[in-house]
Structure 1
Amino acid sequence: MTASAMPGTGMKSARCPRCGNSFDCGRNTEPFDCWCKSLPALPANALDPRGRCLCPECLAAAAAPAAGGAPTGGGLKR
């Protein structure tokens, strides 16, 4: 994941491995506070084994099939 700090937010600039768009990622914020935690968690087999985060659009598309009763928590392994 590329990382240039976003001042004052703990967010970092990242590039989506699926579509290539850049987005703000809060994966390493302490305490964890990222936009992705409001989306349903992805099933383990849908996670990137390298731990790379998806942009909001790609994560929402990947989470849509899992939305039927899945707990919230975004697409990150914690």
Structure 2
Amino acid sequence: MKPSVSRHASSARCPRCGNAFDCAMHGQPFDCWCRAMPALPADRLDPSGRCLCPECLAAEIARVAQAGSGADRA
């Protein structure tokens, strides 16, 4: 696990990898970095879960895209 890289009030810790990252959902959600990323399907979201770091969110988006491309061929 990497040491915390952020000490801002908007710091969060990723539930998957444990890395610290800045999350605007703790402050002003419309300014968060994650809004620039593709949205995950609703069935992949955990409303009670915490936000993922940029790396883990990108990996989850890639998994969803890969699964979707395989389903399109079937």
Q: How many residues align?
A: 59
Q: Give the structure with the larger helix fraction.
A: 2
Match of 2:11 among 13, 17, 34: 13
Per the normalisation by structure 2, the TM-score is 0.66
* Identical positions, percent: 68
Alignment match, 1:30? 28
**In 1: Cα distance, 2:29 partner to 2:46 partner:** 22
Give me the whole-angstrom Cα distance separating, in 2, the residues matched to 1:66 and 1:33.
Answer: 24
CA RMSD of aligned residues (A): 2.1
* 1:63 lines up with 2:61 in the alignment: yes
Distance 1:55 1:65, change over 3 A: same
Q: 1:19 to 1:29 in 2, by over 3 A?
A: same
Displacement of 1:31: 6.1
What amino acid sits opposite 1:58 in the alignment? C
Consecutive unaligned residues in structure 2, runs of 5 or more: 1-7, 67-74
1:34-45 equivalent positions in 2, closer than 5 A: 34-45=32-43
Query: Which one has more relative contact order, counting CA pairs under 8 Å at least 6 apart?
Result: 1
Cα distance, 1:44 vs structure 2: 1.3
> Which consecutive unaligned segments of at least 5 residues does structure 1 have?
6-11, 69-78
SS state at 1:36 partner: helix
Moved >6 Å (runs of 4+): none
Q: Which protein has the larger Cα radius of gyration, Structure 1 or Structure 2? A: 2
